């Protein structure tokens, strides 16, 4: 009986290393697969970011090049608003994405400063461009292009003002939770950007684009490229907005 017990215990002890080795191999395989999937995701995001930056520069340079062929208030309006929305505001949103390929070497605080600078300069250019157009052609703002542009400008001004409470959200936590302040600012920023880019797209339907480019379907090409810029630029912002909205809903549940 003793011999059987000893034999059984010997077999059990001998079987453990095999189990441990199998578990270790499985863990190594799982870790390797997770790393490869993460690497693939990073590569995909980097490719999308590169395409987005290229599209932003392409659309901006193309419009500036053709608009600068003749000196007029309309051309100045087009140049200023294109730089303000397509270039600066798009990049202002993208720069806050933690995996943005152009600013990964910067700290989170530095990215926030850069976001504020790009947003402020873009807003100033848009204000100047809209003001110039309004002075010579007030009827311009009765069109969908004009209405959406003016609406975007007002929303962006409010979003910029509410950017300061986001900076000092921890000081205001006794009055309002930081997540609520960030959600409000993020929502306004996204709304102002999208409406402004919609105005940009309606601007492609104006006669000037045909007069200066002489390219068939140029408005449709610019429309597609601008929509792609909107989608790619909002990748990180929409993800943050969803997380912030979810966190706010969790705060409201206990009181319901």
Question: Could you read off the pLDDT of 93-152 as tens digits, one per residue?
Answer: 999 887 788 888 888 889 889 999 999 999 999 999 999 988 888 776 788 999 999 999
Q: Enumerate residues 6+ apart whose C-beta is below 8 A from 89.
A: 118, 119, 122, 156, 193, 196
Residue 183 lies in a domain: yes
User: Are residues 102 and 56 in contact, defined by beta-carbon separation less than 8 angstroms?
Assistant: no
| Tokens at 182, concatenated | 């960030």
Residue 32 lies in a domain: no
Residue 238 lies in a domain: yes
* Window from 11-15, 77-81, 162-166 with minimum mean pLDDT: 11-15
User: Are residues 118 and 88 in contact, defined by beta-carbon separation less than 8 angstroms?
Assistant: yes
The angle at the Cα of 59, spanning 209 to 198, to the nearest 5 degrees, equals: 75
Number of domain units in the chain: 1
Q: How crowded is the C-beta side of 106, counted as CA atoms within 13 Å?
A: 17
Residue 20 lies in a domain: no
Which domain range does residue 80 map to?
40-252
Residue range 198-209: average pLDDT?
87
User: Can you give the CATH number for the domain in which 182 is found?
Assistant: 1.20.120.1770
Residue 68 lies in a domain: yes
Total-model pTM: 0.80
Q: Enumerate residues 6+ apart whose C-beta is below 8 A from 101.
A: 46, 49, 50, 53
Residue 18 lies in a domain: no
Residue 34 lies in a domain: no
Q: How far apart are the first and last CA of the chain?
A: 68
Q: How crowded is the C-beta side of 97, counted as CA atoms within 13 Å?
A: 22
Residue 3 lies in a domain: no
């Amino acid at each position: 009986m003793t011999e059987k017990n000893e034999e059984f215990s010997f077999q059990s002890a001998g079987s453990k290393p095999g189990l441990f080795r199998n578990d270790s191999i499985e863990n190594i395989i799982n870790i390797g697969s997770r790393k490869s999937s993460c690497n693939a995701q990073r590569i995909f995001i980097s490719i999308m970011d590169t395409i987005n930056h290229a599209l932003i520069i392409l659309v901006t340079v193309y419009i500036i090049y053709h608009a600068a062929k003749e000196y007029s208030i309309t051309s100045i309006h087009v140049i200023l608003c294109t730089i303000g929305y397509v270039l600066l505001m798009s990049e202002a949103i993208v720069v806050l994405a933690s995996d943005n390929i152009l600013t990964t070497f910067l700290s989170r605080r530095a990215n926030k400063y850069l976001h504020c600078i790009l947003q402020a300069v873009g807003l100033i250019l848009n204000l100047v461009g809209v003001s110039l157009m309004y002075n010579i052609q007030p009827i311009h703002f009765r069109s969908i292009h004009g209405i959406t542009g003016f609406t975007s400008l007002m929303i962006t001004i409010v979003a910029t003002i509410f950017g300061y409470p986001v900076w000092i959200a921890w000081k205001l936590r006794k009055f309002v939770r930081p997540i609520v302040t960030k959600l409000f600012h993020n929502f306004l920023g996204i709304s102002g950007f999208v409406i402004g880019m919609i105005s940009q797209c309606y601007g492609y339907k104006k006669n000037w684009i045909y007069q200066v480019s002489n390219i068939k379907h140029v408005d449709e090409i610019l429309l597609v490229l601008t929509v792609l810029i909107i989608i790619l630029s909002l990748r990180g912002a929409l993800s943050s907005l969803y997380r912030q909205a979810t966190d706010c809903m969790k705060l409201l549940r206990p009181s319901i």
